[in-house]
Amino acid sequence: MAKNRSLPQDDCDLEKAPTGIHGLDEISLGGLPRGRTTLVCGGPGSGKTLLGMEFLVKGALHYNEPGVFMCFEENIDELTTNLASLGYNLKEIIESKRLVIDPIYVERSEIEETGEYDLEGLFIRLEHAIKSVGAKRVVLDTIESLFAGLSNESILRAELRRLFRWLKDRGMTAVITGERGKDGLTRHGLEEYVSDCVIFLDQRILNQIATRRLRILKYRGSVHGTNEYPFIIGDHGIEVFPITSLSLQYPVSEKRVSSGIPSLDEMLDDKGYYEGSTILISGTAGTGKTSFACKYVDAACRRGEHCLYFSFEESKEQILRNLRSIGTDLKPWVEKGLLEFYNQRPTSYGLESHLISSFRVIKDTKPDAVIIDPISNLSAIGSLRDVKTMLTRMIDHMKNKNITTLLLSLTSDGDSLEGTEEGISSLADTWLILRDLEINEKRTRRIFILKSRGMAHSNKIREFLLSDKGIELLDFKRNTG
């Protein structure tokens, strides 16, 4: 039976050079074409120079492939400062003979458009730099500066082909950066045709929030991910999230874990949730969603599990204080390192930044359980379609890691009972719905289980009480008076 894969398998014999850039090697199925030239193009500030430099630095540090960075716009001091913000000591790498940075200033007025124009001077300088460190990788940043004074297309095309052939003949895995043009990918509109691989970087503003996208437009001799992939530039460098790489081939657990509320466990076949499942708790404001989630957190920490709590509305201290009112003290678990909070307003970043930073925190902390409170706040930074896409990626990622996930969703009185604004209810394994009812001028709370996959569960509507003794579920008795 054929396997279900989101990204195609690469069965070609093309050798690839890993970039070491998180996510990029996955969507390129191994890295950039070894011994060939890759064009990285995009507008100002899109990350072209950083991608090229990171390709060289990680090649030198992790793959024993020294490199040469030839720049036509920035100097060594500027590049050193930029890379220092990502934790790389460029000076140390240069002194260890694993990297050469050769800044060249090209004066446009000195370039004469004659049939004798060529790049011999550049080739001599580049040859010397390559031999000085035994380079395997080369980056030229940017191609427009090198050909700034040329408008004759025939000369330009000939010199471009000659440059690319020179690099290929010497077995260099090369990255050449180019500025985005008005009518084409680059200003000259020729580089993409002679490059073996083309990567396009884009930075756009949506709802006053900057978002970044990466797309592999072309890759000769190799299959690759063809979608747009979100990426961020952070203190770890460039991080690409391969959104289509997650498949429905994750392991499932038979283990059951308590919800932290014995009477709720009774409704869940007297055993609680499945470990590694996704639990959705939805309800209007004040119905107790956070309380139910934190009861699970308390029980999980008592089992020795590590929990990560993403809060988009309240601070850690406020949550800890409020939970004490229902007899739940989570502070000891924080002090023991079993519970960690990640508190951030969604409007601080775009959806992609939230997603990738969340994945980074999950990777660093390796939690057994994750709580996201509430997912409805994400609608402030993206369309419902984008929010659903992000949450789908998040849920798939958690399932692949066998992480039990609790998603809290705030609904309004006018919402459909069997739906959420984010549209992800179908992805939840267990769905608890909390509701307020007013009977005889008295506010009461109700809970019922709309679904719980893979287990017998109660179909009763239960009243529940929040008190200093915790959460107590009662049998619902309809008032007929």
What is the domain partition of the chain in residue ranges?
Answer: 16-240, 256-475
Superfamily of domain 16-240: P-loop containing nucleotide triphosphate hydrolases (3.40.50.300)
pLDDT at 367: 97
pLDDT at 180: 76
User: pLDDT tens across 322-354, in order?
Assistant: 999 999 999 999 999 999 999 887 766 667 777
Judge whether residue 197 has pLDDT over 60. yes
Share of the chain above pLDDT 90, in %: 50
Measured in degrees and rounded to the nearest 5, phi and psi for residue 179 equal -75, 145
Confidence category of residue 114, pLDDT binned at 50, 70, 90: very low
Confidence category of residue 5, pLDDT binned at 50, 70, 90: very low
Is 73 marked active-site? Answer: yes
pLDDT at 253: 92
The position carrying tokens 């083309």 is 198
Q: Which two tokens stand for residue 266?
A: 């009774």
User: For the chain, what is the largest distance between any 2 Cα atoms, rounded to a whole number of angstroms?
Assistant: 101
Give the mean pLDDT of the chain: 84
pLDDT at 87: 79
Judge whether residue 479 has pLDDT over 50. no
Confidence category of residue 356, pLDDT binned at 50, 70, 90: confident
Instruction: List, in sequence order, the alpha helices (H) in 28-101.
Output: 48-62, 76-84, 90-95
Rounded to an integer, the average pLDDT of 407-414 is 80
Taking alpha carbons only, the member of 285, 298, 283 closest to residue 450 is 283
Measured in degrees and rounded to the nearest 5, phi and psi for residue 204 equal -130, 160
Distance CA 309, CA 143 (A): 47
pLDDT at 301: 98
pLDDT at 1: 36
Of 2-6, 167-171, 183-187, 222-226, give the range with the top mean pLDDT.
167-171
Three-state secondary structure call for residue 172: coil
User: pLDDT tens across 256-313, in order?
Assistant: 999 999 999 999 999 999 999 999 999 999 999 999 999 999 999 999 999 999 998 8
Distance CA 237, CA 17 (A): 18
* Count of beta carbons in the 10 Å neighbourhood of residue 143: 22
* Count of beta carbons in the 10 Å neighbourhood of residue 218: 17
Characterize the bridge pairing of strands 173-179 and 137-141: parallel
Which candidate in 144, 228, 266, 313 is catalytic? 313
CA atoms within 13 A on the CB side of 160: 27
Confidence category of residue 2, pLDDT binned at 50, 70, 90: very low
Distance CA 341, CA 320 (A): 11
Distance CA 40, CA 169 (A): 21
* Count of beta carbons in the 10 Å neighbourhood of residue 74: 18
Confidence category of residue 137, pLDDT binned at 50, 70, 90: very high
Q: Tell me the fold of 256-475.
A: Rossmann fold (3.40.50)
Rounded to an integer, the average pLDDT of 247-255 is 82
Strands (E), 167-284: 173-179, 197-206, 209-219, 229-234, 237-240, 256-257, 273-274, 278-283
Confidence category of residue 421, pLDDT binned at 50, 70, 90: low
Confidence category of residue 409, pLDDT binned at 50, 70, 90: very high
Three-state secondary structure call for residue 229: strand
Characterize the bridge pairing of strands 470-475 and 462-467: antiparallel
Judge whether residue 3 has pLDDT over 80. no
Which candidate in 73, 144, 228, 340 is catalytic? 73
Same fold, 16-240 and 256-475: yes
Judge whether residue 51 has pLDDT over 90. yes
Is 314 marked active-site? Answer: no
Judge whether residue 159 has pLDDT over 90. no
Confidence category of residue 113, pLDDT binned at 50, 70, 90: very low
Confidence category of residue 107, pLDDT binned at 50, 70, 90: low
Sequence-distant (6+) residues with CB within 8 A of 204 are 210, 211, 213
Q: Which two tokens stand for residue 284?
A: 């209007």
Confidence category of residue 240, pLDDT binned at 50, 70, 90: confident
Distance CA 32, CA 67 (A): 15
The position carrying tokens 């549209």 is 423
